[in-house]
Protein backbone atom coordinates (compact mmCIF):
# COMPACT_ATOMS: atom_id res chain seq x y z
CA UNK A 1 0.00 0.00 0.00
CA UNK A 2 1.20 3.53 -0.64
CA UNK A 3 0.77 6.94 0.94
CA UNK A 4 -2.29 7.37 -1.26
CA UNK A 5 -3.86 4.61 0.84
CA UNK A 6 -5.84 6.11 3.76
CA UNK A 7 -4.74 5.00 7.21
CA UNK A 8 -8.14 3.43 7.80
CA UNK A 9 -7.29 0.84 5.13
CA UNK A 10 -4.60 -0.72 7.29
CA UNK A 11 -5.74 -3.62 9.44
CA UNK A 12 -4.07 -3.07 12.81
CA UNK A 13 -5.71 -6.21 14.25
CA UNK A 14 -3.76 -8.32 11.78
CA UNK A 15 -0.48 -7.33 13.45
CA UNK A 16 -1.51 -9.24 16.61
CA UNK A 17 0.68 -7.08 18.88
CA UNK A 18 1.22 -7.81 22.58
CA UNK A 19 -1.27 -6.10 24.88
CA UNK A 20 -0.16 -2.91 26.61
CA UNK A 21 -0.60 -2.85 30.39
CA UNK A 22 -3.67 -0.87 31.48
CA UNK A 23 -6.56 0.73 29.61
CA UNK A 24 -5.94 2.68 26.42
CA UNK A 25 -6.43 6.39 27.17
CA UNK A 26 -5.63 7.74 23.71
CA UNK A 27 -5.38 6.24 20.24
CA UNK A 28 -4.79 8.01 16.95
CA UNK A 29 -3.52 7.35 13.45
CA UNK A 30 -1.07 9.93 12.10
CA UNK A 31 -1.49 10.28 8.37
CA UNK A 32 1.52 10.14 6.06
CA UNK A 33 3.54 13.42 6.17
CA UNK A 34 1.60 14.85 9.15
CA UNK A 35 2.75 16.19 12.54
CA UNK A 36 1.38 14.93 15.88
CA UNK A 37 1.83 15.81 19.54
CA UNK A 38 0.48 14.63 22.87
CA UNK A 39 1.40 14.73 26.56
CA UNK A 40 2.20 11.28 27.95
CA UNK A 41 1.98 11.46 31.73
CA UNK A 42 4.50 9.75 34.02
CA UNK A 43 3.94 5.99 34.08
CA UNK A 44 1.93 5.86 30.85
CA UNK A 45 3.29 4.01 27.82
CA UNK A 46 3.17 5.35 24.26
CA UNK A 47 3.29 2.71 21.54
CA UNK A 48 4.23 3.86 18.01
CA UNK A 49 3.32 1.32 15.33
CA UNK A 50 4.94 1.46 11.87
CA UNK A 51 1.83 0.36 9.97
CA UNK A 52 3.19 0.57 6.42
CA UNK A 53 6.81 -0.35 7.15
CA UNK A 54 10.07 1.64 6.96
CA UNK A 55 8.46 4.92 7.98
CA UNK A 56 10.77 7.36 9.79
CA UNK A 57 9.07 8.95 12.81
CA UNK A 58 11.02 12.06 13.79
CA UNK A 59 10.44 12.81 17.46
CA UNK A 60 11.43 15.40 20.08
CA UNK A 61 10.55 15.06 23.78
CA UNK A 62 9.99 17.91 26.24
CA UNK A 63 9.31 18.16 29.96
CA UNK A 64 5.59 18.99 29.71
CA UNK A 65 5.79 21.28 32.75
CA UNK A 66 8.86 23.16 31.53
CA UNK A 67 9.71 22.60 27.84
CA UNK A 68 13.08 24.32 28.28
CA UNK A 69 14.06 20.88 29.55
CA UNK A 70 14.06 18.70 26.43
CA UNK A 71 15.55 15.65 24.77
CA UNK A 72 19.33 15.61 24.42
CA UNK A 73 20.73 13.20 21.85
CA UNK A 74 24.30 13.83 23.04
CA UNK A 75 23.54 13.12 26.72
CA UNK A 76 21.49 10.04 25.80
CA UNK A 77 24.23 8.51 23.61
CA UNK A 78 26.99 9.35 26.08
CA UNK A 79 25.18 7.90 29.09
CA UNK A 80 24.41 4.59 27.38
CA UNK A 81 27.72 4.41 25.47
CA UNK A 82 25.84 3.53 22.29
CA UNK A 83 24.83 5.66 19.29
CA UNK A 84 21.74 3.54 18.56
CA UNK A 85 18.51 3.46 20.57
CA UNK A 86 16.96 0.13 21.50
CA UNK A 87 15.14 -1.66 24.33
CA UNK A 88 16.40 -0.26 27.64
CA UNK A 89 17.57 3.06 26.22
CA UNK A 90 16.81 5.90 28.61
CA UNK A 91 16.01 9.04 26.65
CA UNK A 92 17.66 11.78 28.68
CA UNK A 93 17.01 15.51 28.85
CA UNK A 94 19.54 18.33 28.61
CA UNK A 95 19.45 18.29 32.42
CA UNK A 96 20.34 14.60 32.58
CA UNK A 97 16.88 13.41 33.66
CA UNK A 98 15.13 10.50 31.92
CA UNK A 99 12.12 11.72 29.92
CA UNK A 100 11.14 8.29 28.60
CA UNK A 101 12.50 4.73 28.48
CA UNK A 102 12.23 2.35 25.52
CA UNK A 103 10.63 -0.62 27.28
CA UNK A 104 10.16 -2.77 24.17
CA UNK A 105 10.75 -2.65 20.44
CA UNK A 106 10.62 -5.11 17.58
CA UNK A 107 13.03 -3.05 15.46
CA UNK A 108 16.70 -3.82 15.98
CA UNK A 109 17.69 -0.19 16.51
CA UNK A 110 16.49 3.40 16.13
CA UNK A 111 18.51 6.44 15.06
CA UNK A 112 19.27 9.64 16.94
CA UNK A 113 22.09 11.04 14.80
CA UNK A 114 20.56 11.58 11.36
CA UNK A 115 18.54 14.66 12.35
CA UNK A 116 15.30 15.98 10.91
CA UNK A 117 14.98 16.72 7.21
CA UNK A 118 14.44 20.34 6.22
CA UNK A 119 13.80 22.25 3.03
CA UNK A 120 17.35 23.59 3.30
CA UNK A 121 18.98 20.15 3.66
CA UNK A 122 16.77 18.77 0.88
CA UNK A 123 17.93 21.57 -1.43
CA UNK A 124 21.56 20.90 -0.57
CA UNK A 125 21.31 17.13 -0.99
CA UNK A 126 18.75 16.65 -3.73
CA UNK A 127 18.59 19.88 -5.71
CA UNK A 128 16.68 23.14 -5.79
CA UNK A 129 13.58 21.52 -7.29
CA UNK A 130 12.89 19.97 -3.85
CA UNK A 131 12.58 23.37 -2.14
CA UNK A 132 8.77 23.37 -2.27
CA UNK A 133 8.51 20.00 -0.50
CA UNK A 134 7.62 20.46 3.15
CA UNK A 135 9.91 18.56 5.48
CA UNK A 136 10.10 17.45 9.12
CA UNK A 137 11.29 20.84 10.35
CA UNK A 138 8.15 22.45 8.89
CA UNK A 139 6.03 19.79 10.62
CA UNK A 140 7.69 20.48 13.98
CA UNK A 141 7.36 24.28 13.61
CA UNK A 142 3.71 23.93 12.55
CA UNK A 143 2.89 21.73 15.54
CA UNK A 144 4.83 24.04 17.91
CA UNK A 145 2.59 26.98 16.93
CA UNK A 146 -0.21 25.25 18.84
CA UNK A 147 1.51 26.03 22.15
CA UNK A 148 3.63 29.12 21.67
CA UNK A 149 6.80 27.22 20.82
CA UNK A 150 8.89 27.68 17.71
CA UNK A 151 12.25 27.40 16.01
CA UNK A 152 14.17 27.95 19.23
CA UNK A 153 12.64 24.70 20.49
CA UNK A 154 14.12 22.63 17.65
CA UNK A 155 16.87 20.34 18.92
CA UNK A 156 18.51 17.15 17.70
CA UNK A 157 15.79 14.53 17.46
CA UNK A 158 15.10 10.82 17.46
CA UNK A 159 14.27 9.00 14.22
CA UNK A 160 12.24 5.96 15.20
CA UNK A 161 12.31 3.15 12.61
CA UNK A 162 15.03 4.91 10.58
CA UNK A 163 18.17 3.05 9.55
CA UNK A 164 21.23 5.30 9.83
CA UNK A 165 24.27 3.04 10.16
CA UNK A 166 27.52 4.58 11.37
CA UNK A 167 30.30 3.20 9.15
CA UNK A 168 33.79 2.25 10.32
CA UNK A 169 35.17 5.58 9.06
CA UNK A 170 32.54 7.48 11.06
CA UNK A 171 30.39 8.44 8.09
CA UNK A 172 26.60 8.14 8.24
CA UNK A 173 24.38 6.32 5.81
CA UNK A 174 20.66 6.81 5.18
CA UNK A 175 19.94 3.42 3.74
CA UNK A 176 17.18 0.91 3.16
CA UNK A 177 15.05 0.42 6.26
CA UNK A 178 15.11 -2.46 8.73
CA UNK A 179 11.54 -1.87 9.88
CA UNK A 180 8.44 -3.57 8.48
CA UNK A 181 4.65 -3.32 8.74
CA UNK A 182 3.50 -3.96 12.32
CA UNK A 183 6.82 -3.35 14.04
CA UNK A 184 6.60 -1.02 17.02
CA UNK A 185 8.37 0.80 19.84
CA UNK A 186 7.02 1.22 23.39
CA UNK A 187 8.04 4.31 25.37
CA UNK A 188 7.30 4.66 29.09
CA UNK A 189 7.14 8.23 30.33
CA UNK A 190 9.42 8.82 33.32
CA UNK A 191 8.02 12.35 33.77
CA UNK A 192 5.04 14.10 32.19
CA UNK A 193 6.43 14.33 28.65
CA UNK A 194 5.28 16.35 25.67
CA UNK A 195 5.93 14.15 22.64
CA UNK A 196 6.13 16.00 19.31
CA UNK A 197 6.39 13.95 16.13
CA UNK A 198 6.84 14.56 12.43
CA UNK A 199 5.70 11.58 10.40
CA UNK A 200 8.52 12.18 7.92
CA UNK A 201 7.40 13.40 4.45
CA UNK A 202 10.80 12.69 2.83
CA UNK A 203 10.61 11.18 -0.66
CA UNK A 204 14.21 11.74 -1.84
CA UNK A 205 16.00 9.04 0.17
CA UNK A 206 15.15 5.53 1.46
CA UNK A 207 14.21 6.60 5.02
CA UNK A 208 10.52 6.08 4.16
CA UNK A 209 11.06 3.58 1.35
CA UNK A 210 10.41 6.57 -1.00
CA UNK A 211 6.75 6.33 0.04
CA UNK A 212 5.58 8.00 3.28
CA UNK A 213 2.93 5.98 5.12
CA UNK A 214 0.77 6.45 8.25
CA UNK A 215 1.81 5.46 11.77
CA UNK A 216 -0.47 4.57 14.68
CA UNK A 217 -0.20 5.92 18.24
CA UNK A 218 -1.59 4.18 21.34
CA UNK A 219 -1.23 5.46 24.93
CA UNK A 220 -2.01 3.11 27.79
CA UNK A 221 -2.20 3.93 31.50
CA UNK A 222 -1.38 1.11 33.95
CA UNK A 223 -2.22 3.18 37.05
Binding site for Zn ion (CB under 5 A): 117, 136, 200, 202
Closest approach of Zn ion to the CB of residue 145, in Å: 18
In terms of DSSP bridges, do strands 45-50 and 215-220 run parallel, antiparallel, or are they unpaired?
A: antiparallel
Residue 63 or 157 having the CB closest to Zn ion: 157
DSSP 113-160: SS----HHHHHHHH-GGGTTS--HHHHHHHHHGGGT--GGG----EEE
Residue 158 or 218 having the CB closest to Zn ion: 158
Closest approach of Zn ion to the CB of residue 193, in Å: 21
DSSP 32-48: TT-EEEEEE-TT-EEEE
Residue 10 or 161 having the CB closest to Zn ion: 161
**Angle (nearest 5°) at CA 14 between 13 and 19:** 50
**Angle (nearest 5°) at CA 46 between 174 and 183:** 45
Residue 40 or 207 having the CB closest to Zn ion: 207
Closest approach of Zn ion to the CB of residue 10, in Å: 21
Residue 91 or 117 having the CB closest to Zn ion: 117
Residue 136 or 218 having the CB closest to Zn ion: 136
Question: How far is 39 from 93, CA to CA, in rounded Å?
Answer: 16
Closest approach of Zn ion to the CB of residue 98, in Å: 25
Query: Are 128 and 121 in contact, with CB atoms under 8 Å apart?
Result: no
Closest approach of Zn ion to the CB of residue 89, in Å: 21
Question: How far is 17 from 27, CA to CA, in rounded Å?
Answer: 15
Closest approach of Zn ion to the CB of residue 47, in Å: 21
Amino acid sequence: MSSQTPASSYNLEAFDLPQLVGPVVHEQTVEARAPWSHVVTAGQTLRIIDVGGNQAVDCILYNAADPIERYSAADTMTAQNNVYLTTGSRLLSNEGNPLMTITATTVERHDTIGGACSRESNTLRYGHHTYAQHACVENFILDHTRRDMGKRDMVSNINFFMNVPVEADGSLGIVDGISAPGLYVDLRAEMDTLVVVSNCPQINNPCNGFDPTPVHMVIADPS
